[in-house]
Amino acid sequence: MDNSSQKPVAAVENSYAVALEWVSTIGVIACLAAYLFYIFDLLPLSVSVRTISEHWGISADEAAAKGVVLTGWEWIEHLPNADMLSLASIALLTITPMICLAVASMAFLKLKDHAYTIISILQIIVLLIAVSGFFSR
């Protein structure tokens, strides 16, 4: 098999890696900072830590029915409460691959690698569908 395409692909991987490093570092720092605000009560909370701990033994559905946890994108409305900031920081961490894929798809497109540009875009669409909650309704 011809391995002549190795160098440009390594360039794509490099751009993915750089994006990954930056976004995941920001995500982790955001998680830790938001968590400190959360547990030390430095900002108002939507649901107290005590209430959460009293209900963490019941299922998410039951907790949602009691109003202990928020479902869908409802949590956005409760920003910048500290617990929702923590959730937002987790959300940021989870979209890291999506941002990296966007960078990679541009790099593939620059190389006129249409198959992998399409695969990257399809992957982003799948992740966007998951984020949208289309399947979770």
Partner 1 sequence: MKLMASGLFVLAVTLPSIAQAQELAASEPTVWWVWVLMLFIFSFFLGIIAVIAGVGGGVLFVPIVSSFFPFHIDYVRAGGLLVALSGALSAGSPLLKKGMANLRLGLPMALLGSLSSIFGALVGLAMPSSLVQLALGIVIMGIAVLMIMSKNSTVIQQIQPDYLSQVLQISGLYYDTTLKQDVTWNIHRTAMGSVLFVLIGFIGGMFGLGAGFANVPVFNLLMGVPLKVAVATSGLVLSINGSAAIWVYLLKGAVLPLIVIPAVAGMMAGSRIGAWLLPRFHPKWIRIVVISILVLAGVRSMLKGLGV
HSE on the CB side for 85, CA within 13 Å?
19
Contacts of 11 (CB under 8 A, 6+ apart): 107, 111
Give the residue, chosen from 93, 106, 109, 111, that forms a contact with partner 1 under the rule CB under 8 A.
93
Contacts of 64 (CB under 8 A, 6+ apart): 70, 71
Task: Pick the closer one to partner 1 by CB: 20 or 106.
Answer: 20
* Range 43-82, binding partner 1 (CB under 8 A): 49-50, 52-54, 56-61, 63-64, 69-73
Give the residue, chosen from 46, 78, 81, 86, that forms a contact with partner 1 under the rule CB under 8 A.
86
Give the residue, chosen from 77, 79, 94, 114, that forms a contact with partner 1 under the rule CB under 8 A.
94
Task: Pick the closer one to partner 1 by CB: 64 or 109.
Answer: 64
The span from the CA of 126 to the CA of 21, in Å, is: 22
